A and B are shown apart, each in its own frame.
Chain A
């Protein structure tokens, strides 16, 4: 009786995406932390959030974004809750976009991911531009390079997530 109340398919998907989150955090903190072309690290969690929102819907994207944002804020030590707030928004918006406005092919995914990366970078650099007396050019440079370095990872994240979600684009 109790077992009938549990949606095992959703539990399975939750476990799978938890694994995806751990993998993304591992790559971000262990691998990409050692690779910094021009002194700037790539940032891949926003792409993963977009992917989950794209293939599983806005709610799943939002929850995934909330959890991964929490871990990213804990890991980066930049600001207390910035990414915890921004990533759920990205996840929910990408899910909504994929549901009503754009298709789920790679081309559109690439541009939505780019928009997510730009949004994340703008939020990260906001305190340097709006609050502190900082030269804006280096800040924009870091934001731009961070976005640029992250974009190639859209390939590495899109196809596995599409496979995991079981979305069939041939129809």
Chain B
């Protein structure tokens, strides 16, 4: 009887415990019993989840490292491909612009016979400014031919020709001489190379007549006289004017219109109609 009473008491306690637990879960609010159980199990749970995370990290480091490294390599290759395509697109765009300029130039001067060439070398001399271009006598290029850029600006003149190469004397070289027209009146003068100005990337406008007016910003074009250069090629812009005591212009400095330092492609004018 006593045993039955104890068993009954245990059953009642269990039923009461289950009822209390279920009731607290149903109400959504933890009871005392659940809180007590949770306070006991929570540190264990936290510890075990931390341990699992650490073990997963080790597993990932050991077994997924190669996968990630391979993926990284793939992405690097894809990035390099994309960068290459971007560079090619930029080059194509640049070439497109040059060819458009050239097309406009051809339409403007149908008498010009062009040969396009690349600048392959810029000799490191302290005493001259010359370029080596990629085409020579096999392309019909001859000594004295005029060289321009795609925007119709004077680059220089061919001074030596070989097989597959030619040397171009720059418009600012100390030995360069080009006839020019100055100002609105179109007075004749000469753009000549000067050693000191050559070091600064400039040339000198000289042989000016008394009636010639030169102002800063004047654009100089080739006169076409003498037959070495076609008329109307842009040489450069007057950057400063040096006058004598009487007020007459002694000479002016000229900055070339073409970007000599950035040139990569040039056009050799092999033939043109000489206008005297």
Binding site for B on A (CB under 8 A): 28-29, 32-33, 36, 39-41, 43, 75-78, 124-125, 128, 132, 134-135, 137-139, 142, 146
Contacts and interface: CB of A to CB of B under 8 A. Distances in A.
B27 interface: no
B171 interface: no
Say what secondary structure dominates the interface of chain A. Answer: helix
Interface string B57-70: 00000000000000
B123 interface: yes
Contacts of B195: 128, 132, 134-135, 138-139, 142
Interface string B117-160: 00000111111101010000000000000000000000000001
A28 B160 CA distance: 22
A77 B167 contact: yes
Interface string B94-132: 000000000000000000000000000011111110101
Nearest to A38: B199
B124 A77 contact: no
A39 B174 contact: no
Given A29-B124, A32-B124, A77-B123, A132 B174 contact: yes
Closest CB pairs A-B (n = 3): A33-B124, A138-B196, A77-B130
A40 B128 CA distance: 11
B13 to A, nearest CB: 93
14 contacts: A28-B124, A32-B124, A39-B199, A40-B126, A41-B124, A75-B124, A76-B124, A77-B128, A77-B167, A124-B126, A124-B127, A135-B194, A135-B195, A135-B196
Measured as residues with beta carbon below 8 angstroms from the partner, the interface class of chain B is: 10 to 19
Interface of B: 122-128, 130, 132, 160, 167, 174-175, 194-196, 199
Contacts of A135: 194-196
A142 B126 contact: yes
A76 B125 contact: yes
Contacts of A36: 124
Nearest to A129: B195
Nearest to B159: A77
A40 B175 CA distance: 19
Contacts of A28: 124
A132 B196 CA distance: 13
Contacts of B199: 39, 138, 142
Which of B194, B195, B199 has the most chain A CB atoms closer than 10 A to its own CB? B195
B123 A142 contact: no
Contacts of B125: 41, 76-78
Given A41-B124, A41-B125, A138-B199, 9 more contacts: A28-B124, A39-B199, A41-B126, A77-B128, A78-B123, A78-B128, A124-B126, A135-B195, A138-B195
A146 B123 contact: no
Nearest to A74: B123
A75 B194 CA distance: 22
A76 B160 CA distance: 13
B257 to A, nearest CB: 21
A139 B194 CA distance: 11
B174 A142 contact: no
